[in-house]
Structure 1
Amino acid sequence: MKRATITLPDDLEQALEHFVAEQAVPVQLTAVVQSAVREYLGERGYLPSPAVLRIRPAERGSGKDDVSVSHDQYLTSR
């Protein structure tokens, strides 16, 4: 892991402090900066893209045609 000391201009410092203060769950400044750098480098092709979630429909004839409406019932029944 690489440690770095960075200097932020006043506008970035204020924006970061404002962002951290508004979070419902406490977040560390380090985590915010790492996430921002990861996103920045990922958009430019320097990091691999995260895996894409691929949801596939059930095979035809699964016998269930109301799962999208009655999902709670299906998840709680045994």
Structure 2
Amino acid sequence: MKRATITLPDDLEQALERFVDEQAIPVQLTAVVQTAVREYLGERGYLPSTSKLRIRPAKRGSGQEDVSVSHDHYLSSSAT
């Protein structure tokens, strides 16, 4: 693991402090910076992408209209 000391301009420092302060669950500044660097490098192809899952509807549906309501039934019947 590499340790680094960085200097942040005032606007970044203030934005980071606001972000950390506004989190419902306490978060470490180190974790925020690591996540930001990871995302930045991932978007540029230097790390595996952390892109969001993009779920698109099927061109042709399953033919069932109640799957969102009866999902347990469908999942249990397909497992047997």
Superposition TM-score, scaled by structure 2 size: 0.69
User: Corresponding residue for 2:44?
Assistant: 44
The amino acid of 1:44's aligned partner reads R
What fraction of aligned residue pairs are identical, expressed as a percent? 79
Q: What is the aligned residue count?
A: 71
Indicate how the Cα distance of structure 1 residues 15 and 22 shifts in structure 2: closer, same or farther if over 3 A, else same.
Answer: same
Letter of the structure 1 residue corresponding to residue 27 of structure 2: V
**Quick one: distance in 2 between partners of 1:16 and 1:53?**
26
> For residues 14-72 of structure 1, what are the alpha-carbon distances to aligned partners after superposition, in whole Å with 9 as ceiling and x for unaligned?
000000000000000000000000000000000012488698x9xx7xxx86331134x
Judged with a 3 Å threshold, the aligned counterparts in structure 2 of structure 1 residues 25 and 67 are, in CA distance, closer, same or farther, namely: same
- In structure 2, the residue matched to 1:69 is 69
Give the match for residue 23 of structure 1: 23
Q: Which amino acid aligns with 2:48?
A: P
Tell me, yes or no, if the aligned pair for 2:20 and 2:26 is still in contact at 8 Å.
yes
User: Which consecutive unaligned segments of at least 5 residues does structure 2 have?
Assistant: none
TM normalised by structure 1 equals: 0.70
